[in-house]
Structure 1
Protein backbone atom coordinates (compact mmCIF):
# COMPACT_ATOMS: atom_id res chain seq x y z
CA UNK A 1 0.00 0.00 0.00
CA UNK A 2 1.85 1.01 0.11
CA UNK A 3 6.67 5.42 -1.27
CA UNK A 4 11.79 17.11 -7.44
CA UNK A 5 13.14 18.02 -10.41
CA UNK A 6 16.57 16.96 -11.53
CA UNK A 7 19.02 19.83 -11.57
CA UNK A 8 21.26 18.34 -14.26
CA UNK A 9 24.90 17.35 -14.19
CA UNK A 10 27.03 19.26 -11.72
CA UNK A 11 30.30 20.64 -12.98
CA UNK A 12 33.30 18.40 -12.44
CA UNK A 13 34.92 21.21 -10.51
CA UNK A 14 32.73 20.79 -7.40
CA UNK A 15 34.84 21.61 -4.41
CA UNK A 16 36.23 18.46 -2.70
CA UNK A 17 33.65 15.92 -1.47
CA UNK A 18 31.49 18.31 0.52
CA UNK A 19 28.77 18.50 -2.10
CA UNK A 20 27.09 15.34 -3.30
CA UNK A 21 26.06 15.28 -6.99
CA UNK A 22 22.33 15.25 -7.62
CA UNK A 23 20.63 12.50 -9.62
CA UNK A 24 21.24 12.71 -13.34
CA UNK A 25 18.70 12.00 -16.07
CA UNK A 26 19.84 8.98 -18.09
CA UNK A 27 18.19 7.62 -21.21
CA UNK A 28 18.72 3.87 -21.57
CA UNK A 29 16.81 3.89 -24.85
CA UNK A 30 15.98 7.34 -26.20
CA UNK A 31 12.22 7.75 -25.62
CA UNK A 32 9.82 9.97 -27.51
CA UNK A 33 9.02 12.46 -24.75
CA UNK A 34 6.86 14.86 -26.76
CA UNK A 35 3.93 12.45 -27.21
CA UNK A 36 1.07 13.04 -24.74
CA UNK A 37 0.67 9.89 -22.64
CA UNK A 38 -1.38 8.22 -19.95
CA UNK A 39 0.79 7.68 -16.88
CA UNK A 40 0.44 4.27 -15.21
CA UNK A 41 1.79 4.43 -11.66
CA UNK A 42 2.28 1.94 -8.83
CA UNK A 43 3.99 2.22 -5.47
CA UNK A 44 6.33 -0.77 -5.79
CA UNK A 45 7.45 -3.33 -8.32
CA UNK A 46 5.10 -6.20 -7.44
CA UNK A 47 2.11 -3.93 -8.08
CA UNK A 48 2.92 -3.28 -11.73
CA UNK A 49 4.69 -6.41 -12.99
CA UNK A 50 1.66 -7.55 -14.99
CA UNK A 51 1.14 -4.11 -16.52
CA UNK A 52 4.79 -3.62 -17.43
CA UNK A 53 4.94 -7.12 -18.96
CA UNK A 54 1.94 -6.28 -21.14
CA UNK A 55 3.45 -2.99 -22.35
CA UNK A 56 5.30 -2.69 -25.64
CA UNK A 57 8.21 -0.64 -24.29
CA UNK A 58 9.81 1.71 -26.81
CA UNK A 59 12.17 3.66 -24.56
CA UNK A 60 13.23 4.38 -21.00
CA UNK A 61 14.51 7.34 -19.06
CA UNK A 62 15.88 7.47 -15.52
CA UNK A 63 14.87 10.51 -13.46
CA UNK A 64 16.03 10.85 -9.86
CA UNK A 65 16.91 7.15 -9.95
CA UNK A 66 13.40 6.15 -11.04
CA UNK A 67 12.90 4.57 -14.47
CA UNK A 68 10.17 5.92 -16.74
CA UNK A 69 9.07 3.25 -19.25
CA UNK A 70 7.60 4.69 -22.46
CA UNK A 71 5.49 2.57 -24.81
CA UNK A 72 2.08 1.30 -25.87
CA UNK A 73 -0.46 -0.52 -23.72
CA UNK A 74 -3.99 -1.51 -24.71
CA UNK A 75 -3.90 0.87 -27.66
CA UNK A 76 -2.67 3.90 -25.70
CA UNK A 77 0.61 5.77 -25.52
CA UNK A 78 1.72 5.32 -21.92
CA UNK A 79 4.53 5.98 -19.49
CA UNK A 80 4.93 3.54 -16.59
CA UNK A 81 6.73 4.36 -13.36
CA UNK A 82 6.98 3.57 -9.67
CA UNK A 83 6.03 6.27 -7.19
CA UNK A 84 7.83 4.70 -4.25
CA UNK A 85 6.20 4.11 -0.88
CA UNK A 86 4.22 6.75 1.00
CA UNK A 87 2.91 10.25 0.53
CA UNK A 88 6.11 12.23 0.09
CA UNK A 89 7.58 9.86 -2.49
CA UNK A 90 4.28 9.68 -4.37
CA UNK A 91 3.89 13.47 -4.55
CA UNK A 92 7.54 14.07 -5.47
CA UNK A 93 7.58 11.44 -8.22
CA UNK A 94 4.28 12.60 -9.69
CA UNK A 95 5.46 16.20 -9.96
CA UNK A 96 8.81 15.11 -11.41
CA UNK A 97 6.90 13.20 -14.09
CA UNK A 98 4.58 16.10 -14.93
CA UNK A 99 7.55 18.46 -15.18
CA UNK A 100 9.10 16.31 -17.92
CA UNK A 101 6.42 14.41 -19.82
CA UNK A 102 3.15 15.63 -21.39
CA UNK A 103 0.70 13.55 -19.35
CA UNK A 104 -2.94 13.31 -20.41
CA UNK A 105 -4.10 11.43 -17.34
CA UNK A 106 -2.77 9.47 -14.37
CA UNK A 107 -3.90 5.92 -13.56
CA UNK A 108 -2.69 4.41 -10.28
CA UNK A 109 -2.75 0.63 -9.77
CA UNK A 110 -1.95 -1.10 -6.50
CA UNK A 111 -3.03 -2.67 -3.25
CA UNK A 112 -4.73 -1.23 -0.18
CA UNK A 113 -6.16 -2.08 3.20
CA UNK A 114 -9.87 -2.78 3.30
CA UNK A 115 -11.99 -0.55 5.54
CA UNK A 116 -15.58 -1.13 4.44
CA UNK A 117 -16.85 -4.15 6.43
CA UNK A 118 -18.81 -5.24 3.34
CA UNK A 119 -15.63 -5.78 1.29
CA UNK A 120 -13.06 -8.57 1.37
CA UNK A 121 -9.47 -9.35 0.43
CA UNK A 122 -9.05 -9.49 -3.33
CA UNK A 123 -11.88 -7.05 -4.08
CA UNK A 124 -10.93 -4.10 -6.31
CA UNK A 125 -12.03 -0.61 -5.31
CA UNK A 126 -12.19 2.45 -7.56
CA UNK A 127 -13.10 5.34 -5.24
CA UNK A 128 -14.78 8.45 -6.63
CA UNK A 129 -12.74 10.68 -4.33
CA UNK A 130 -9.66 10.54 -2.13
CA UNK A 131 -8.82 12.30 1.13
CA UNK A 132 -5.62 12.81 3.14
CA UNK A 133 -7.01 11.58 6.45
CA UNK A 134 -3.79 11.66 8.48
CA UNK A 135 -2.98 15.34 8.15
CA UNK A 136 -3.91 15.93 11.76
CA UNK A 137 -3.95 18.20 14.74
CA UNK A 138 -2.76 16.54 17.95
CA UNK A 139 -5.03 18.07 20.57
CA UNK A 140 -4.20 19.31 24.04
CA UNK A 141 -5.42 17.02 26.82
CA UNK A 142 -7.54 18.73 29.48
CA UNK A 143 -9.56 17.46 32.45
CA UNK A 144 -12.58 17.61 30.16
CA UNK A 145 -10.89 15.59 27.40
CA UNK A 146 -8.94 16.43 24.26
CA UNK A 147 -9.46 20.05 23.21
CA UNK A 148 -8.30 20.90 19.69
CA UNK A 149 -7.39 24.57 19.35
CA UNK A 150 -8.46 24.60 15.69
CA UNK A 151 -10.26 22.14 13.47
CA UNK A 152 -10.74 22.77 9.76
CA UNK A 153 -12.92 19.75 8.97
CA UNK A 154 -16.22 18.40 10.27
CA UNK A 155 -14.69 15.02 11.08
CA UNK A 156 -14.45 13.86 14.65
CA UNK A 157 -11.17 12.81 16.22
CA UNK A 158 -9.62 9.52 17.21
CA UNK A 159 -8.29 10.18 20.69
CA UNK A 160 -6.04 13.22 20.45
CA UNK A 161 -5.89 13.10 16.61
CA UNK A 162 -8.22 15.39 14.64
CA UNK A 163 -8.18 15.38 10.80
CA UNK A 164 -7.38 18.70 9.11
CA UNK A 165 -8.18 19.95 5.62
CA UNK A 166 -5.36 20.01 3.07
CA UNK A 167 -4.32 23.46 1.81
CA UNK A 168 -4.12 23.63 -1.98
CA UNK A 169 -3.77 26.36 -4.58
CA UNK A 170 -7.02 27.94 -5.70
CA UNK A 171 -7.41 27.58 -9.45
CA UNK A 172 -7.92 30.79 -11.44
CA UNK A 173 -7.30 32.88 -8.34
CA UNK A 174 -4.56 35.37 -7.34
CA UNK A 175 -1.09 33.83 -6.85
CA UNK A 176 -0.40 32.22 -3.47
CA UNK A 177 -4.06 32.07 -2.50
CA UNK A 178 -5.09 28.81 -0.85
CA UNK A 179 -8.20 26.79 -0.14
CA UNK A 180 -8.96 24.06 2.33
CA UNK A 181 -9.95 20.87 0.52
CA UNK A 182 -10.19 17.43 2.06
CA UNK A 183 -11.67 15.39 -0.82
CA UNK A 184 -10.10 15.26 -4.28
CA UNK A 185 -12.47 13.81 -6.91
CA UNK A 186 -11.21 11.45 -9.58
CA UNK A 187 -11.80 12.15 -13.25
CA UNK A 188 -15.50 11.72 -14.08
CA UNK A 189 -14.88 10.26 -17.56
CA UNK A 190 -12.46 7.67 -16.16
CA UNK A 191 -14.91 6.74 -13.41
CA UNK A 192 -17.68 6.27 -15.96
CA UNK A 193 -15.47 3.97 -18.05
CA UNK A 194 -14.49 2.03 -14.92
CA UNK A 195 -18.17 1.34 -14.25
CA UNK A 196 -18.47 -0.40 -17.62
CA UNK A 197 -15.75 -3.01 -17.06
CA UNK A 198 -17.21 -4.92 -14.14
CA UNK A 199 -17.68 -8.08 -16.19
CA UNK A 200 -14.61 -7.72 -18.39
CA UNK A 201 -11.83 -8.42 -15.87
CA UNK A 202 -11.18 -11.87 -14.41
CA UNK A 203 -10.39 -11.49 -10.72
CA UNK A 204 -8.30 -14.21 -9.10
CA UNK A 205 -9.44 -16.13 -6.04
CA UNK A 206 -6.36 -18.34 -5.58
CA UNK A 207 -2.69 -17.49 -5.24
CA UNK A 208 -1.77 -21.20 -5.18
CA UNK A 209 -3.59 -24.50 -5.23
CA UNK A 210 -3.75 -24.55 -1.44
CA UNK A 211 -4.16 -20.81 -0.87
CA UNK A 212 -7.53 -19.57 -2.01
CA UNK A 213 -9.96 -16.97 -0.79
CA UNK A 214 -13.28 -18.30 0.49
CA UNK A 215 -15.16 -15.81 -1.68
CA UNK A 216 -15.16 -14.54 -5.25
CA UNK A 217 -13.55 -11.07 -5.49
CA UNK A 218 -15.64 -8.24 -6.91
CA UNK A 219 -15.16 -4.77 -8.38
CA UNK A 220 -16.61 -1.77 -6.53
CA UNK A 221 -16.70 1.59 -8.32
CA UNK A 222 -17.49 4.79 -6.41
CA UNK A 223 -17.32 5.69 -2.75
CA UNK A 224 -14.35 7.06 -0.83
CA UNK A 225 -10.68 6.24 -0.34
CA UNK A 226 -8.21 7.75 2.12
CA UNK A 227 -4.41 7.86 2.27
CA UNK A 228 -1.80 8.56 4.92
CA UNK A 229 1.83 7.84 5.82
CA UNK A 230 1.10 4.86 8.09
CA UNK A 231 0.49 1.15 7.48
CA UNK A 232 -2.72 0.40 9.39
CA UNK A 233 -3.21 -2.98 11.09
CA UNK A 234 -5.52 -2.00 13.94
CA UNK A 235 -9.16 -3.02 14.25
CA UNK A 236 -10.28 -0.08 16.39
CA UNK A 237 -8.65 2.51 14.14
CA UNK A 238 -10.06 0.78 11.06
CA UNK A 239 -13.57 0.98 12.56
CA UNK A 240 -13.09 4.71 13.22
CA UNK A 241 -11.92 5.30 9.64
CA UNK A 242 -15.03 3.56 8.31
CA UNK A 243 -17.42 5.46 10.58
CA UNK A 244 -15.70 8.79 10.02
CA UNK A 245 -14.90 8.76 6.30
CA UNK A 246 -17.01 5.89 4.91
CA UNK A 247 -13.82 4.85 3.11
CA UNK A 248 -13.76 1.57 1.22
CA UNK A 249 -9.95 1.45 1.27
CA UNK A 250 -6.91 3.11 2.77
CA UNK A 251 -3.41 3.31 1.34
CA UNK A 252 -0.22 5.34 1.50
CA UNK A 253 -0.08 7.14 -1.87
CA UNK A 254 -3.32 7.77 -3.75
CA UNK A 255 -4.48 11.03 -2.19
CA UNK A 256 -0.99 12.51 -2.59
CA UNK A 257 -1.08 11.74 -6.32
CA UNK A 258 -4.66 13.05 -6.48
CA UNK A 259 -3.57 16.34 -4.89
CA UNK A 260 -0.67 16.83 -7.33
CA UNK A 261 -2.96 15.94 -10.24
CA UNK A 262 -5.50 18.48 -8.99
CA UNK A 263 -2.87 21.21 -8.68
CA UNK A 264 -1.66 20.48 -12.22
CA UNK A 265 -5.18 20.00 -13.64
CA UNK A 266 -4.49 16.45 -14.86
CA UNK A 267 -7.24 13.79 -14.79
CA UNK A 268 -6.61 11.08 -12.15
CA UNK A 269 -8.09 7.74 -11.13
CA UNK A 270 -6.85 4.98 -8.80
CA UNK A 271 -7.56 1.24 -8.80
CA UNK A 272 -6.81 -0.39 -5.44
CA UNK A 273 -7.30 -4.08 -4.68
CA UNK A 274 -7.55 -5.12 -1.04
CA UNK A 275 -4.53 -7.12 0.13
CA UNK A 276 -5.66 -7.13 3.77
CA UNK A 277 -8.36 -5.74 6.06
CA UNK A 278 -6.20 -3.19 7.92
CA UNK A 279 -6.50 -5.13 11.18
CA UNK A 280 -10.12 -6.16 10.72
CA UNK A 281 -9.35 -9.90 10.73
CA UNK A 282 -8.62 -11.89 13.87
CA UNK A 283 -5.88 -13.76 11.99
CA UNK A 284 -2.49 -12.11 11.33
CA UNK A 285 -2.37 -9.50 8.57
CA UNK A 286 -3.06 -11.11 5.19
CA UNK A 287 -0.97 -8.78 3.00
CA UNK A 288 2.06 -11.10 2.81
CA UNK A 289 -0.17 -13.96 1.65
CA UNK A 290 -2.55 -12.21 -0.72
CA UNK A 291 -0.57 -9.13 -1.74
CA UNK A 292 0.37 -10.58 -5.13
CA UNK A 293 -3.18 -11.74 -5.79
CA UNK A 294 -4.47 -8.27 -4.97
CA UNK A 295 -1.84 -6.65 -7.22
CA UNK A 296 -2.81 -8.89 -10.13
CA UNK A 297 -6.52 -8.22 -9.60
CA UNK A 298 -5.90 -4.47 -9.67
CA UNK A 299 -3.81 -4.81 -12.84
CA UNK A 300 -6.53 -6.90 -14.49
CA UNK A 301 -9.11 -4.18 -13.91
CA UNK A 302 -6.69 -1.50 -15.14
CA UNK A 303 -6.14 -3.50 -18.35
CA UNK A 304 -9.91 -3.80 -18.85
CA UNK A 305 -10.26 -0.07 -18.16
CA UNK A 306 -7.58 0.89 -20.70
CA UNK A 307 -9.10 -1.45 -23.29
CA UNK A 308 -12.51 0.19 -22.83
CA UNK A 309 -11.09 3.72 -22.72
CA UNK A 310 -11.60 5.51 -26.08
CA UNK A 311 -8.37 6.41 -27.87
CA UNK A 312 -9.62 10.00 -28.04
CA UNK A 313 -10.08 10.25 -24.28
CA UNK A 314 -8.49 13.35 -22.71
CA UNK A 315 -7.63 14.80 -26.13
CA UNK A 316 -4.05 15.49 -27.18
CA UNK A 317 -3.22 18.03 -24.51
CA UNK A 318 -1.37 17.34 -21.29
CA UNK A 319 -3.53 19.70 -19.23
CA UNK A 320 -7.29 20.08 -18.89
Structure 2
Protein backbone atom coordinates (compact mmCIF):
# COMPACT_ATOMS: atom_id res chain seq x y z
CA UNK A 1 0.00 0.00 0.00
CA UNK A 2 1.45 3.35 -1.02
CA UNK A 3 1.88 5.90 1.76
CA UNK A 4 3.43 8.91 0.08
CA UNK A 5 2.25 12.29 -1.05
CA UNK A 6 3.36 14.78 -3.68
CA UNK A 7 2.94 18.45 -2.80
CA UNK A 8 4.40 21.90 -3.27
CA UNK A 9 3.75 25.36 -1.90
CA UNK A 10 3.41 27.49 -5.02
CA UNK A 11 5.58 30.57 -4.68
CA UNK A 12 3.08 32.90 -6.30
CA UNK A 13 1.34 33.37 -2.97
CA UNK A 14 4.25 32.85 -0.59
CA UNK A 15 4.74 34.52 2.78
CA UNK A 16 7.89 36.64 3.04
CA UNK A 17 9.49 36.22 6.48
CA UNK A 18 11.29 39.18 7.96
CA UNK A 19 13.41 39.92 11.00
CA UNK A 20 11.74 39.29 14.39
CA UNK A 21 10.43 41.80 16.88
CA UNK A 22 9.49 41.30 20.52
CA UNK A 23 5.98 40.45 21.66
CA UNK A 24 5.50 41.74 25.22
CA UNK A 25 2.72 41.41 27.76
CA UNK A 26 0.21 44.23 27.89
CA UNK A 27 -0.39 46.88 25.21
CA UNK A 28 2.54 47.23 22.85
CA UNK A 29 3.40 49.47 19.96
CA UNK A 30 3.20 47.30 16.84
CA UNK A 31 5.73 47.73 14.07
CA UNK A 32 4.72 50.71 11.98
CA UNK A 33 3.35 50.26 8.49
CA UNK A 34 5.48 51.74 5.72
CA UNK A 35 3.78 54.62 3.96
CA UNK A 36 2.53 54.23 0.40
CA UNK A 37 4.02 57.13 -1.52
CA UNK A 38 2.32 58.83 -4.49
CA UNK A 39 5.08 57.37 -6.67
CA UNK A 40 4.16 53.81 -5.67
CA UNK A 41 1.80 53.40 -8.63
CA UNK A 42 4.67 54.54 -10.83
CA UNK A 43 6.72 51.68 -9.46
CA UNK A 44 3.88 49.28 -10.19
CA UNK A 45 3.66 50.68 -13.73
CA UNK A 46 7.41 50.33 -14.30
CA UNK A 47 7.27 46.75 -13.06
CA UNK A 48 4.38 45.96 -15.40
CA UNK A 49 5.95 47.50 -18.49
CA UNK A 50 9.48 46.18 -17.95
CA UNK A 51 8.58 42.49 -18.03
CA UNK A 52 9.36 40.66 -21.27
CA UNK A 53 9.04 37.13 -22.59
CA UNK A 54 11.70 34.54 -21.84
CA UNK A 55 12.29 31.01 -23.08
CA UNK A 56 12.20 28.08 -20.67
CA UNK A 57 15.31 26.16 -21.68
CA UNK A 58 13.96 22.91 -20.25
CA UNK A 59 10.65 22.92 -22.13
CA UNK A 60 11.14 25.47 -24.91
CA UNK A 61 8.01 27.32 -23.76
CA UNK A 62 7.69 31.08 -23.98
CA UNK A 63 7.14 32.40 -20.45
CA UNK A 64 6.27 35.71 -18.81
CA UNK A 65 5.61 36.76 -15.24
CA UNK A 66 3.67 39.90 -14.36
CA UNK A 67 4.27 40.75 -10.67
CA UNK A 68 1.33 42.38 -8.92
CA UNK A 69 2.85 45.15 -6.83
CA UNK A 70 1.31 45.46 -3.35
CA UNK A 71 1.93 47.95 -0.52
CA UNK A 72 4.47 46.68 2.02
CA UNK A 73 3.26 44.96 5.17
CA UNK A 74 4.63 45.03 8.69
CA UNK A 75 8.17 43.69 8.76
CA UNK A 76 7.83 42.99 5.02
CA UNK A 77 5.25 40.25 5.57
CA UNK A 78 3.12 40.54 2.46
CA UNK A 79 1.73 38.32 -0.31
CA UNK A 80 3.61 37.69 -3.50
CA UNK A 81 1.07 37.66 -6.32
CA UNK A 82 1.73 37.35 -10.04
CA UNK A 83 0.08 36.57 -13.35
CA UNK A 84 2.07 33.87 -15.11
CA UNK A 85 2.16 32.97 -18.80
CA UNK A 86 3.50 29.86 -20.49
CA UNK A 87 2.85 28.88 -24.07
CA UNK A 88 2.41 25.33 -22.73
CA UNK A 89 -0.49 26.32 -20.46
CA UNK A 90 -4.11 25.59 -21.42
CA UNK A 91 -7.03 28.01 -21.28
CA UNK A 92 -7.68 29.36 -17.79
CA UNK A 93 -9.15 32.11 -15.66
CA UNK A 94 -7.02 34.73 -17.47
CA UNK A 95 -7.22 33.21 -20.95
CA UNK A 96 -5.06 30.83 -22.95
CA UNK A 97 -1.58 30.39 -21.48
CA UNK A 98 -2.20 32.59 -18.44
CA UNK A 99 -2.67 31.52 -14.84
CA UNK A 100 -3.23 33.09 -11.45
CA UNK A 101 -1.33 30.58 -9.31
CA UNK A 102 -2.83 29.62 -5.96
CA UNK A 103 -1.18 27.35 -3.42
CA UNK A 104 -3.03 24.06 -3.06
CA UNK A 105 -2.57 20.40 -2.23
CA UNK A 106 -4.43 18.13 -4.62
CA UNK A 107 -4.69 14.49 -5.58
CA UNK A 108 -2.65 13.29 -8.53
CA UNK A 109 -4.43 12.39 -11.76
CA UNK A 110 -1.31 11.01 -13.42
CA UNK A 111 -2.79 7.52 -13.47
CA UNK A 112 -6.38 8.59 -14.05
CA UNK A 113 -9.21 9.59 -11.74
CA UNK A 114 -8.22 9.39 -8.04
CA UNK A 115 -9.56 6.51 -5.94
CA UNK A 116 -10.07 8.77 -2.90
CA UNK A 117 -8.37 6.39 -0.51
CA UNK A 118 -4.89 5.96 0.95
CA UNK A 119 -3.53 4.57 -2.32
CA UNK A 120 -3.76 8.04 -3.91
CA UNK A 121 -0.80 10.32 -4.30
CA UNK A 122 -1.14 14.09 -3.95
CA UNK A 123 0.44 16.77 -6.11
CA UNK A 124 0.74 20.53 -6.31
CA UNK A 125 3.94 21.00 -8.23
CA UNK A 126 5.96 17.83 -8.30
CA UNK A 127 7.36 17.59 -4.76
CA UNK A 128 6.86 14.07 -3.45
CA UNK A 129 6.38 13.44 0.26
CA UNK A 130 6.88 10.22 2.14
CA UNK A 131 4.80 9.06 5.07
CA UNK A 132 6.77 9.37 8.34
CA UNK A 133 4.20 8.17 10.85
CA UNK A 134 1.09 9.42 12.59
CA UNK A 135 -0.18 12.20 10.34
CA UNK A 136 3.27 13.50 9.33
CA UNK A 137 4.89 13.59 5.91
CA UNK A 138 8.25 14.86 4.70
CA UNK A 139 9.72 15.56 1.29
CA UNK A 140 11.28 12.49 -0.28
CA UNK A 141 14.15 14.69 -1.45
CA UNK A 142 14.64 17.08 1.46
CA UNK A 143 15.21 20.65 0.27
CA UNK A 144 12.90 23.02 2.14
CA UNK A 145 12.91 20.99 5.39
CA UNK A 146 9.16 21.46 5.64
CA UNK A 147 6.93 19.17 7.70
CA UNK A 148 3.43 18.41 6.40
CA UNK A 149 0.64 17.23 8.68
CA UNK A 150 -2.79 16.04 7.58
CA UNK A 151 -5.40 16.65 10.30
CA UNK A 152 -7.91 13.97 9.39
CA UNK A 153 -10.50 14.97 12.01
CA UNK A 154 -10.84 18.39 10.36
CA UNK A 155 -9.92 17.42 6.78
CA UNK A 156 -7.19 20.04 6.57
CA UNK A 157 -3.42 20.28 6.11
CA UNK A 158 -0.79 22.26 8.02
CA UNK A 159 2.73 22.75 6.69
CA UNK A 160 5.58 23.97 8.91
CA UNK A 161 8.70 25.40 7.30
CA UNK A 162 12.14 25.60 8.91
CA UNK A 163 11.53 29.22 10.04
CA UNK A 164 8.44 28.15 11.98
CA UNK A 165 5.91 29.64 9.57
CA UNK A 166 2.65 27.69 9.42
CA UNK A 167 0.62 27.24 6.24
CA UNK A 168 -2.99 26.12 6.70
CA UNK A 169 -4.85 24.44 3.83
CA UNK A 170 -8.55 23.62 3.57
CA UNK A 171 -9.83 25.39 6.68
CA UNK A 172 -13.16 26.29 5.09
CA UNK A 173 -15.69 24.74 2.76
CA UNK A 174 -14.80 27.34 0.14
CA UNK A 175 -11.10 26.38 0.21
CA UNK A 176 -11.76 22.67 -0.34
CA UNK A 177 -12.73 21.21 -3.70
CA UNK A 178 -15.09 18.46 -2.58
CA UNK A 179 -17.17 15.92 -4.45
CA UNK A 180 -20.67 17.44 -4.81
CA UNK A 181 -22.37 14.35 -3.33
CA UNK A 182 -19.70 12.38 -1.46
CA UNK A 183 -17.23 13.06 1.40
CA UNK A 184 -14.25 13.15 -0.97
CA UNK A 185 -11.80 16.05 -1.32
CA UNK A 186 -9.76 16.59 -4.47
CA UNK A 187 -7.87 19.77 -3.44
CA UNK A 188 -7.13 21.84 -0.34
CA UNK A 189 -6.29 25.52 -0.95
CA UNK A 190 -4.12 27.76 1.23
CA UNK A 191 -6.20 29.69 3.78
CA UNK A 192 -3.62 31.21 6.08
CA UNK A 193 0.13 31.70 6.49
CA UNK A 194 1.41 32.97 9.85
CA UNK A 195 4.97 33.38 11.07
CA UNK A 196 6.25 32.74 14.61
CA UNK A 197 5.71 36.41 15.51
CA UNK A 198 2.04 36.36 14.57
CA UNK A 199 2.21 38.22 11.26
CA UNK A 200 -0.48 36.66 9.10
CA UNK A 201 -1.72 36.56 5.54
CA UNK A 202 -5.21 35.13 5.00
CA UNK A 203 -6.75 33.95 1.74
CA UNK A 204 -10.44 33.76 0.82
CA UNK A 205 -12.10 31.95 -2.07
CA UNK A 206 -15.42 31.66 -3.82
CA UNK A 207 -16.64 28.39 -5.27
CA UNK A 208 -19.00 27.98 -8.19
CA UNK A 209 -19.79 24.98 -10.42
CA UNK A 210 -17.13 22.93 -8.57
CA UNK A 211 -14.44 25.49 -9.42
CA UNK A 212 -12.50 27.42 -6.77
CA UNK A 213 -11.60 31.07 -7.48
CA UNK A 214 -9.35 33.35 -5.38
CA UNK A 215 -11.50 36.10 -3.86
CA UNK A 216 -9.14 38.24 -1.76
CA UNK A 217 -5.95 38.22 0.31
CA UNK A 218 -5.77 40.15 3.60
CA UNK A 219 -2.52 41.03 5.32
CA UNK A 220 -1.00 43.08 8.21
CA UNK A 221 -3.02 41.28 10.93
CA UNK A 222 -1.31 40.00 14.09
CA UNK A 223 -3.18 38.09 16.80
CA UNK A 224 -0.18 38.01 19.17
CA UNK A 225 -0.21 41.76 19.70
CA UNK A 226 -2.22 43.17 22.60
CA UNK A 227 -4.69 44.29 21.47
CA UNK A 228 -4.73 42.11 18.33
CA UNK A 229 -4.22 43.90 15.03
CA UNK A 230 -6.68 43.57 12.17
CA UNK A 231 -5.61 43.44 8.54
CA UNK A 232 -5.92 46.78 6.76
CA UNK A 233 -4.45 45.83 3.38
CA UNK A 234 -6.12 43.65 0.79
CA UNK A 235 -5.65 42.27 -2.71
CA UNK A 236 -9.06 41.71 -4.34
CA UNK A 237 -9.78 39.55 -7.37
CA UNK A 238 -12.79 40.79 -9.36
CA UNK A 239 -14.40 38.68 -12.09
CA UNK A 240 -16.49 39.75 -15.05
CA UNK A 241 -20.20 39.90 -14.15
CA UNK A 242 -21.30 37.81 -17.14
CA UNK A 243 -20.28 34.23 -17.87
CA UNK A 244 -17.30 33.94 -20.18
CA UNK A 245 -18.17 32.89 -23.77
CA UNK A 246 -15.67 30.00 -23.71
CA UNK A 247 -16.61 27.99 -20.64
CA UNK A 248 -13.96 25.46 -19.59
CA UNK A 249 -15.08 21.95 -18.62
CA UNK A 250 -12.86 19.73 -16.48
CA UNK A 251 -13.38 16.14 -15.31
CA UNK A 252 -9.97 15.43 -13.77
CA UNK A 253 -11.35 15.06 -10.25
CA UNK A 254 -13.89 12.45 -11.34
CA UNK A 255 -16.83 14.85 -11.46
CA UNK A 256 -17.55 17.83 -13.73
CA UNK A 257 -16.29 21.30 -12.91
CA UNK A 258 -17.03 24.31 -15.07
CA UNK A 259 -14.96 27.50 -15.17
CA UNK A 260 -17.43 30.21 -16.12
CA UNK A 261 -15.57 33.20 -14.70
CA UNK A 262 -12.82 35.32 -16.22
CA UNK A 263 -10.61 37.64 -14.14
CA UNK A 264 -11.41 41.30 -14.81
CA UNK A 265 -9.51 43.26 -12.14
CA UNK A 266 -6.95 42.90 -9.38
CA UNK A 267 -7.67 45.67 -6.91
CA UNK A 268 -5.26 46.82 -4.19
CA UNK A 269 -6.88 48.50 -1.16
CA UNK A 270 -5.86 50.02 2.18
CA UNK A 271 -8.53 50.44 4.86
CA UNK A 272 -11.17 49.75 2.21
CA UNK A 273 -9.95 52.50 -0.12
CA UNK A 274 -8.64 51.62 -3.57
CA UNK A 275 -4.95 52.44 -4.10
CA UNK A 276 -4.53 51.07 -7.61
CA UNK A 277 -6.12 48.50 -9.90
CA UNK A 278 -4.86 46.15 -12.60
CA UNK A 279 -7.52 46.03 -15.34
CA UNK A 280 -7.59 43.08 -17.76
CA UNK A 281 -9.25 42.96 -21.19
CA UNK A 282 -9.77 40.01 -23.52
CA UNK A 283 -10.58 39.05 -27.08
CA UNK A 284 -11.63 35.74 -28.57
CA UNK A 285 -9.28 33.87 -30.87
CA UNK A 286 -10.59 33.87 -34.44
CA UNK A 287 -9.18 30.35 -34.83
CA UNK A 288 -10.23 28.62 -31.61
CA UNK A 289 -12.87 30.95 -30.06
CA UNK A 290 -10.92 30.80 -26.80
CA UNK A 291 -10.13 33.78 -24.55
CA UNK A 292 -6.90 35.69 -25.20
CA UNK A 293 -5.64 38.25 -22.68
CA UNK A 294 -5.40 41.44 -24.73
CA UNK A 295 -4.13 44.03 -22.24
CA UNK A 296 -3.30 44.87 -18.64
CA UNK A 297 -3.74 48.50 -17.62
CA UNK A 298 -3.13 50.25 -14.30
CA UNK A 299 -5.53 52.81 -12.88
CA UNK A 300 -5.34 54.87 -9.69
CA UNK A 301 -7.93 55.53 -6.99
CA UNK A 302 -9.56 58.26 -9.10
CA UNK A 303 -9.82 56.03 -12.17
CA UNK A 304 -6.99 57.73 -14.04
CA UNK A 305 -5.22 55.22 -16.29
CA UNK A 306 -1.66 54.67 -17.45
CA UNK A 307 -0.72 53.22 -20.86
CA UNK A 308 -1.68 49.57 -21.18
CA UNK A 309 0.65 46.63 -21.68
CA UNK A 310 -0.78 44.82 -24.69
CA UNK A 311 -0.29 41.31 -26.06
CA UNK A 312 -0.60 39.87 -29.55
CA UNK A 313 -0.84 36.20 -30.44
CA UNK A 314 0.26 34.29 -33.52
CA UNK A 315 -1.21 31.11 -34.90
CA UNK A 316 1.32 28.30 -34.91
CA UNK A 317 1.65 26.86 -38.40
CA UNK A 318 1.94 23.05 -38.63
Q: After TM superposition, is the score higher than 0.5?
A: no
Which protein has greater RCO, CA pairs closer than 8 Å, 6+ apart? 1
Higher strand share: 2
| TM-score normalized by the length of structure 1 | 0.29
Higher helix share: 1
| TM-score normalized by the length of structure 2 | 0.29
